[in-house]
Structure 1
């Protein structure tokens, strides 16, 4: 098999291909997406921190100056939303936005959410176990982070059913060479979500509540577009990955039953287990960067204007960085995985994601004597954001 992000067999089993890339072609040009694939941990880690690369190039050049075609006009509403958030901008705009938003994500604030996260996770696990199981993704993995971020933002409960579809549709644009239908769907979702948030922010600006939208609406330096872009980013980043780590993580444990038994027997392993599940089958397989100045990696010259595809899934299985990398070890102590990124774009919500994952896995382990697969799951077609279609389980209560 070769690197082929549209091949279902590759999406299901990418790791042998990554092994070959790391050994034989650690930096290689991939014509179908016009990208340079970078597969080794040290290189991916270094390039994430290298300021000669960026998530955007529009702060230094126009599309034409950078040798790129402008996006189609119909995509303008999508990019207006996305580029108003901090993920797709560079300093000094990124620095200002991250400084403002990070005030809401202090370690103390995030830790203060743990009791509420624990209560939500416990309630979802109770319902799941009482009915003897079901689809873990739909009934536990998805509702937890959506509920947490919705409560943080102050989204009224009656509107929360809108969030997951909007997020999934928006994230469709991040796949490699998305089809025209996926592009239009992403534009529509971004427009609808932006309109919703614009109305909500105006209400909260006039009558603030105890929520993040209200707090952001009171910051004079934050434009309305930036507030909307920030909230969309928090939703997408705040739950897409968490949902998939939960699904991928349980599937990983079922494929390594001795590690699941080990975790059941010793719940103090939960913190290292979460890090290992993030590493072993990371939900974000590839992260892109634009080359702002000529660079050289492993003797390969990559020119300004090129795009690099940093293979997180490969980096997290690199034997140069991890001892016995293909073995799942829920007690792995030395675990420099890069599932949350690195450098200035390191995931702001990583501490919250860790709390959600520990509480979710812990709640299900506490309430069951066993969880068993009803059928082998299948992978969604997406490769960049890689997750299962469903995870149907039978739960035996403790």
Structure 2
């Protein structure tokens, strides 16, 4: 098998992070699965394989429902990381059946389509207010002025977190999500542990308040949710709330700024969108595909699998490259071209299988709301300065996106 080390794939190289898509094309040309020694992972770059493995029960987000760390050939996390893992390991995203099935079923009783629809007016009003302030100021940072505050406010509103308590939510989320990068440093781990403790302590107090005085919010719904006498534990509620915030706004924030940066680089497509706002739903899907907010998703091999004649043993880790899958020429015609009229768009930016993003409908509402507000209120929005990429590879975003609104 050809080594990956001689390819341009390097998650710690700023040039690769700036534009990983040529390296992905090289990976796809090399084969269907390649071992990457620096992270000891098997890279899967093709859409068909990624889509199939996301649904394959021989792989899992965790292995601890079947094996101890020792039995699986892995080393237990250091004790000082325990608060992060307690928080992370009780969330749906990192559980497998039967626990995943039970928790997702209970969460779904509170996180209903009606709950999401009830938020739609709030989302549109908030997006309009944020964009109006940006226009009034003549521009600013699209990241901090619109992209970040919108989903954070929406998730906080849904959970019932008072406005006065919302300032730490984004920093807590950013610090926790640092652990999802490849080989995070001890400094990153220490920040994630501290944020895990602080966020958990806050939510524990809020849950206690809602037990005494329930409201119409999601936390009250999670407390009330039951199925044949089964309820969520306090830790499962805390982990669910953190997951909804982290997953529910990290992708939306980065999809917003990645999307507008792509539009600024493709002025013909931006002009078409400005001329026809009915393109917004298709634009949201295409921008999620074109520059994928979550580039890589990991699975443990619970039972030996074979991909294109290569045996991957139990205990190995598979890294499914969402960004590569979304640019696979076997599925997408001319994938390097941004096409807001693309009709057949089976991107996997929201994952697939049992871990398909439960918040995808809400994310789509938020993305469409902010895009529509910007198109309506800021038709002369232009790029003010070349943005810088965040150094992260897995969660793909920008440090900021400086824009101007030209008065006409």
User: TM-score band, normalised by the shorter chain?
Assistant: over 0.9
How far apart, in 1, do the equivalents of 2:206 and 2:296 lie? 33
> Which residue of structure 1 aligns with residue 255 of structure 2?
245
Residues 341 and 82 (structure 1 numbering): CA distance in 2 closer, same or farther, change over 3 Å? Answer: same
What's the secondary structure of 1:394's corresponding residue? strand
1:141 and 2:115 are equivalent in the alignment: no
How far apart, in 1, do the equivalents of 2:114 and 2:215 lie? 20
**8 A contact 1:129–1:368 mirrored in 2:** yes
User: Can you give the 5+ residue segments of structure 2 that lack an aligned partner in the other structure?
Assistant: 1-6
What's the secondary structure of 2:385's corresponding residue? coil
> Which residue of structure 2 aligns with residue 3 of structure 1?
9
How far apart, in 1, do the equivalents of 2:156 and 2:300 lie? 32
- Superposed CA RMSD: 1.0
How far apart, in 2, do the equivalents of 1:397 and 1:383 lie? 37
1:380 and 2:386 are equivalent in the alignment: no
1:140-219 equivalences in 2 (<5 Å): 140-219=146-225
What is the CA distance between 1:397 and its match in structure 2? 5.1
Question: TM-score normalized by structure 1?
Answer: 0.99
What is the CA distance between 1:142 and its match in structure 2? 0.1
1:45 and 2:45 are equivalent in the alignment: no
**8 A contact 2:110–2:225 mirrored in 1:** no
* Bigger mean CA offset, 24-33 vs 62-71: 24-33
How far apart, in 2, do the equivalents of 1:298 and 1:267 lie? 44
What is the CA distance between 1:115 and its match in structure 2? 1.0
1:114 and 2:120 are equivalent in the alignment: yes
Q: Moved runs in structure 1, 4+ residues, more than 6 A?
A: none
User: Can you give the 5+ residue segments of structure 1 that lack an aligned partner in the other structure?
Assistant: none
**8 A contact 1:149–1:235 mirrored in 2:** yes
**8 A contact 1:153–1:213 mirrored in 2:** yes
> Which residue of structure 2 aligns with residue 315 of structure 1?
325
Question: 2:65 is matched with which residue: 59, 65, 69?
Answer: 59
How far apart, in 2, do the equivalents of 1:108 and 1:192 lie? 31
1:330 and 2:346 are equivalent in the alignment: no
**8 A contact 1:368–1:397 mirrored in 2:** no
1:268 and 2:274 are equivalent in the alignment: no
What's the secondary structure of 1:134's corresponding residue? strand
* Count of equivalent residues: 398
**8 A contact 2:176–2:192 mirrored in 1:** yes
> Which residue of structure 1 aligns with residue 138 of structure 2?
132
What's the secondary structure of 1:337's corresponding residue? coil
What is the CA distance between 1:219 and its match in structure 2? 3.6
How far apart, in 2, do the equivalents of 1:397 and 1:190 lie? 44
What is the CA distance between 1:159 and its match in structure 2? 0.8
**8 A contact 2:109–2:225 mirrored in 1:** no
What is the CA distance between 1:51 and its match in structure 2? 0.5
**8 A contact 1:130–1:397 mirrored in 2:** no
**8 A contact 2:282–2:341 mirrored in 1:** yes
How far apart, in 2, do the equivalents of 1:197 and 1:84 lie? 14
* Bigger mean CA offset, 357-366 vs 99-108: 99-108
How far apart, in 2, do the equivalents of 1:324 and 1:145 lie? 32
How far apart, in 1, do the equivalents of 2:307 and 2:407 lie? 53
Question: TM-score normalized by structure 2?
Answer: 0.96
1:20 and 2:26 are equivalent in the alignment: yes
Render the CA deviation track for 1:115-166: whole Å, top value 9, x for unaligned: 1100000000000011101000000000000000000011111110010000
> Which residue of structure 1 aligns with residue 4 of structure 2?
none
What's the secondary structure of 1:32's corresponding residue? coil
